[in-house]
Amino acid sequence: MRTDSSPGTLPAREHLPAATAGTPVLDVVIPVYNEEKDLQPCVLRLYDHLTRTFPYSFRITIADNASTDTTPDVARLLETRIPEVTSFRLEQKGRGRALRTVWSASDAPILAYMDVDLSTDLNALLPLVAPLISGHSDLAIGSRLARSSRVVRGAKREFISRSYNLILRGSLQARFSDAQCGFKAIRRDVAQVLLPLVEDTGWFFDTEMLVLAERAGLRIHEVPVDWVDDPDSTVHIVKTATDDLKGVWRVGKALATGSLPLNRLTRPFGDDPRDREIMDVPKGLARQLVGFCFVGGLSTLFYLLLYSGFRQFSGSQVANALALLVSAIANTAANRRLTFGVRGRSGAVRHQAQGLVVFGIGLALTSGSLVALNAATSDPAHSTELAVLIAANLAATVLRFLLLRVWVFPDRREGEEQPTDAAAPHQPFPSPYPAAPTTGLPAPLPQRRDAPYDAHGAYDTTRFRAGEAADGAWRDATIRLQPVRPDDTDPGEGR
């Protein structure tokens, strides 16, 4: 699948209307597990802040995931006393599970969450959600590692946090600065398509969501925050770190094999309607040139090493053919994935066959150069051979890029059949999402089949009401959650 040219299923972002009929603009979820002491002060403080400073309607949702103390009683009491507070009870542990369940059922166009300890200064809440309301960004995160952030915490947690983000940058090529700050927001239309792709149900949920969003090209807004560490936190650092590393490996493997249908998350170019009608403009040309040059440079070094090795026991023509054949196969595979963004195994054999045709052209050019060199001198020096081959390969490289772009990996145009993803078929938005991975977790909550956009493409929040579903499956999916057993622990839950 071509992520750079696929139209995807998400429409262009629109600024939310200033007022909505009976539907809160913001739904702030507070996931809790055995937080009977901190829950009430947290909710009252958050409610007071939103009432005084937030210019839109809001809701506070308490997501209790299998608490065994009096947390459910405190949540019900707050729900009774404050109209803007609702409580939601799950009988299985997992912060990620709680967020995915509540976000999937929410009718608010902007979904956020924060930790119950309120370590983050609430003055950052409006800057967090403002880019989502305006339509500028798809997700927003609070960052404790930004230069202008002010953070009070111990050296141990500081070291772990920065090390973890370095691992993400090195292994998953993440560019966001802080994956685990409990202060994030997402647009509901994005969450509907993104959440079914997120497998983790514990503390790695945030990271997986951000990595997939970033790889799909969604816009992530970062807000520097003032943050004070909670000294009474019950997070199991070692276990959580181990589970996070397992999650990094799983997501990295999925991205490398192309098993994730990230083309579902692509946005059209620009938010101006005139930008959406741009025709006959090469898409992704600059990025493809950079990727092709990078892959080509590595392929050239690989080719020269192979040629020098094969030249030790064979003639120049045989060594050139073998080195070019091996490097061409590797070059086609690398350009397929890195330069032209084709993921999955679909069409891989055909692409390699076409790549071999391009290889034949390169072979003719380089072999012809060697023939001309041998005709000019009977015993050319090895350095001369390499110089001639480099010049011939430069000419072949230009032709190779043109053939790869126009013939092997052409851009899809309007009216062409869209290639199907190996993992799941590409379906028009909105559509019922595929079942959750078979890990013993409840299936993701089904979504409404009627589109949440009006005839002009604007987000229509009046068409959704809390708890509604076209087939009534939202409530059933929650009721059928299995009660937690004494030995039933979630691998991603650290506390």
Q: How confident is the model at residue 278 (pLDDT cuts 50, 70, 90)?
A: very low
Q: How far apart are CA 492 and CA 327, in angstroms?
A: 42
Mean pLDDT of 301-328: 85
pLDDT value at residue 31: 93
More reliable by pLDDT, 458 or 411: 411
Q: How far apart are CA 63 and CA 47, in angstroms?
A: 16
Q: How far apart are CA 408 and CA 401, in angstroms?
A: 10
pLDDT value at residue 383: 81
pLDDT value at residue 418: 43
488: pLDDT strictly greater than 50 = no
DSSP 196: G
392: pLDDT strictly greater than 80 = yes
As a whole number, the mean pLDDT across the chain is 76
- Contacts (Cβ under 8 Å, ≥6 apart) of 446: 432, 433, 469, 470, 471, 473, 474, 477
pLDDT value at residue 446: 39
Q: How confident is the model at residue 420 (pLDDT cuts 50, 70, 90)?
A: very low
Nearest partner of 311 among 249, 252, 382, judged by Cα: 382
Q: What angle do CA 437, 440, 442 make, to 5 degrees?
A: 75
Mean pLDDT of 240-260: 83
Question: Going edge to edge, which strands form the sheet with 139-143?
Answer: 85-90, 58-65, 26-32, 110-114, 183-187, 139-143, 220-224
DSSP 483: P
Tell me the two tokens of residue 95.
Answer: 């912060």
424: pLDDT strictly greater than 70 = no
Q: How confident is the model at residue 76 (pLDDT cuts 50, 70, 90)?
A: very high
More reliable by pLDDT, 385 or 116: 116
Q: How far apart are CA 248 and CA 156, in angstroms?
A: 21
Tell me the two tokens of residue 164.
Answer: 């973890």
59: pLDDT strictly greater than 90 = yes
**What burial class does residue 110 get, using C-beta atoms within 10 Å of its C-beta: 0-12 exposed, 13-18 middle, 19+ buried?**
buried
238: pLDDT strictly greater than 90 = no
Q: How far apart are CA 168 and CA 73, in angstroms?
A: 39
User: Within 203-346, where are the H helices?
Assistant: 205-215, 237-257, 285-310, 316-334
pLDDT value at residue 345: 77
414: pLDDT strictly greater than 70 = no
Q: How confident is the model at residue 215 (pLDDT cuts 50, 70, 90)?
A: confident
Pairing status of strand 183-187 against strand 226-228? unpaired
Mean pLDDT of 357-376: 81
pLDDT value at residue 107: 92
More reliable by pLDDT, 442 or 150: 150
In 419-449, which positions are buried (b, 16+ CB within 10 angstroms) versus exposed (e)?
A: bebbbeebeeebeebeebeeeebbebbbbbe
Q: How far apart are CA 30 and CA 42, in angstroms?
A: 9
% of the chain with per-residue pLDDT over 90: 27
413: pLDDT strictly greater than 50 = no
Q: Looking at 80-84, 160-164, 303-307, which range is the least confident one?
A: 160-164
Q: How far apart are CA 24 and CA 17, in angstroms?
A: 11
271: pLDDT strictly greater than 80 = no
Largest Cα span, the chain: 96
pLDDT value at residue 466: 36
404: pLDDT strictly greater than 50 = yes
More reliable by pLDDT, 244 or 138: 138
Mean pLDDT of 76-83: 94
Q: How far apart are CA 95 and CA 244, in angstroms?
A: 14
2: pLDDT strictly greater than 80 = no
234: pLDDT strictly greater than 90 = no
Mean pLDDT of 177-192: 90
Mean pLDDT comparison of 3-17, 104-118, 420-434, highest-scoring range = 104-118
The angle that helices 39-53 and 71-81 make with each other, rounded to 10 degrees, is: 30
% of the chain with per-residue pLDDT over 70: 75
28: pLDDT strictly greater than 70 = yes
pLDDT digits (tens, 9 = 90+) for 37-48: 999 999 999 999
Given a contact cutoff of 8 angstroms between Cβ atoms, the answer to whether 37 and 230 are in contact is no
Residue found by looking up tokens 């998953």 in the block: 172
- Start-to-end C-alpha separation, the chain: 39
As a dihedral over the C-alpha atoms of residue 489, residue 491, residue 494, residue 495, rounded to 10 degrees, the angle is -10
Tell me the two tokens of residue 18.
Answer: 């200033």
1: pLDDT strictly greater than 60 = no
Q: How far apart are CA 370 and CA 15, in angstroms?
A: 62
Q: How far apart are CA 41 and CA 29, in angstroms?
A: 15
pLDDT value at residue 19: 57
Tell me the two tokens of residue 485.
Answer: 């057993």
Single-letter amino acid code for the residue at 461:
T
